[in-house]
A and B are shown apart, each in its own frame.
Chain A
Amino acid sequence: MDIESVYSTATLSLKIYRSKFQEEPIFILPTNIDNLIRNSYYGGGTDVYKGFSKLVYYYDVNSLYPYAMLNPMPYNLIKLHNNMENIKLDSFFGFIEVEVLCPITMKRPVLPYHLKGKTIYPVGSWKGVYFSEELKAVVKLGYQIKLIKGYEFTKVDLFTKYVNTFYELKRTSVGSEKAIANLLLNNLYGYFGRKQFSILTQIVKNDNLKAILLTRIVKSIINKEYSTVLAYSNINYPLLSKLNNELHNNFENYHSPIKSNVAIAAAVTAYARIHMIPFKIDPNTLYTDTDSSFTLAPVDPSLIGDQLGQMKDEMNGIIIQEGIFLGHKKYGYWYYDKEGNRIEKSVFAGVPGNTLTFDNIKDIFIGETITKTVENKFFKSFNNLNIEIKNTFITIQNTMDNPLLNDQYLPIKINNGQFDLFGSLYNKFKNLIIKTIKKYFNYKYICNK
């Protein structure tokens, strides 16, 4: 495979898949179907169920997404069901627009929902589009689902040979070979989730700008002596044909074919979330992030191993002495290594890994703001097309994605897809109280109990 011919690991994975493993053609979905199914495309779930704990175990799943890819994939769109009255969820395979009711008594909801640009795991009621297999999994937990409209697909096994080949290579090799096998395993499914457009930039003389503006969907223009136009590559082709017919013109679409199929990507991530459900709803679990779990109880040894989908003990038998979980990809912990040395680890989005001390994490936990120097940070501006690289200070504080009440998780409540008004006011008041208590009174109360 010629590395020069690819633009990303995902493209490289796809080329290898297509040349050595693909047995069935994969269809590109029509734009309207792509747009609808894209609503069901969520990433991995991340949740904090408890802020502070002592004696913690840390596990992750071996190659969660490749493991999810072993499941039957949605393949050929066979029917659109506008009326789902006589259709049972159990016998349906595909994507469904549904009304969801998650009981407010649900302690750890697991079905994602996009609201105001964020993914939340709410209780309450809303409408959404989901992969049928994820709905089947959550119904068993007490979710009530009303089917509205269905996009029925055939099932196919697309990836088993590919995944097994590269997982075996990863498991049995070392160094660069292992790393490449890992990259190829984890990057293939993401290719299918690509949006069906990219953005082309073109520098044109201002005199020629009008012709460009007439024939492109423009995202942004930077005007100087020349204009730099950022335009969507794949504009609506049928619309363009109609326009050409009406105006007796011959405008051309800058079509750059992106061979995506979001149904496959959405199914893979849904299967991965399904696999994580037992770990998320376990009351011992303190924090989960996509494929990992920090928990107060050791996992059943039969679930641990080096096979795909099995759990791996990230600490190799060592127990974390104290862990603080602040939010999505924001946590820190410490432990004694086998030589008895105290080792501290930190993960905080936007801050290089392990550069925060456990005391830093404690300070953030009780509401303090701390500052850190970050060297060679890139500042990129599309307004003036300037890239600046400089050392800078960053302030780090806990923005509380989903605040805990008395250090315990309380799910977000929504009604008909919107934040519950009373609940929002209550939450704001609650957050204020929690912040005040943590900052000024009793950090020790939380840490020592």
Chain B
Amino acid sequence: MNHYNPENVSSIIDDSNTFISISCKAFGELLEFKDSLRIFPMSLDNLCQMFGVEGKLTAYNSNFSNLELFNNPNLLQEFINYSLQDAKSLYEALFIAQNM
């Protein structure tokens, strides 16, 4: 949180208050977050199934969204594994879509 200036963060929201994108200037780069659900409106599991790639390995644990997570090394590691698989499977699905 100390690595960027809050004034460098901006976002675009649609008329139903859903994020379209969040942009952040950090480390000399412009990072842009987009919601893959807007491009392929289906769950990540369904998306992975559709493109034949490995999807989620575990279900989302609602404790992941609690800041206490950082005081629980096991849960933190579980969260890291979950997030890595999430990003990997989305990337692989989009990669296949891109090359169709």
Contacts and interface: CB of A to CB of B under 8 A. Distances in A.
B38 A8 contact: yes
A201 B98 contact: no
A334 B46 CA distance: 25
B39 A200 contact: no
Contacts of B96: 176
Interface in A202-251: 202-205, 226, 230, 233
A230 to B, nearest CB: 7
B12 A3 contact: no
A28 interface: no
Contact of B41 (A9, A175, A197): A9
A198 B40 CA distance: 21
Given A6-B39, A195-B15, A202 B65 contact: no
Nearest to A220: B17
A376 B50 contact: no
A114 to B, nearest CB: 16
B13 A176 contact: no
A180 B62 contact: no
Interface string A295-328: 0000000000000000000000000000000000
B59 to A, nearest CB: 8
A12 B39 contact: yes
Given A197-B15, A202-B10, A226-B6, A376 B38 contact: no
Interface in B1-22: 6-7, 9-15, 17, 20-21
A2 interface: yes
Nearest to A380: B17
Contact of B40 (A9, A256, A376): A9
A388 B39 CA distance: 24
Interface string A167-198: 00000000111011001000000000001011
Contacts of A24: none
30 contacts: A2-B98, A3-B97, A7-B34, A7-B38, A9-B39, A175-B50, A176-B97, A180-B97, A183-B41, A197-B15, A198-B12, A198-B20, A199-B12, A199-B14, A200-B12, A200-B13, A201-B12, A202-B10, A203-B7, A203-B9, A205-B7, A226-B6, A226-B7, A233-B12, A375-B62, A380-B17, A382-B17, A389-B62, A389-B65, A390-B62
Given A180-B100, A199-B15, A201-B13, 7 more contacts: A3-B98, A183-B41, A195-B15, A198-B13, A199-B13, A203-B9, A390-B62
Interface of B: 6-7, 9-15, 17, 20-21, 34, 38-41, 50-52, 59-60, 62, 64-65, 94, 96-98, 100
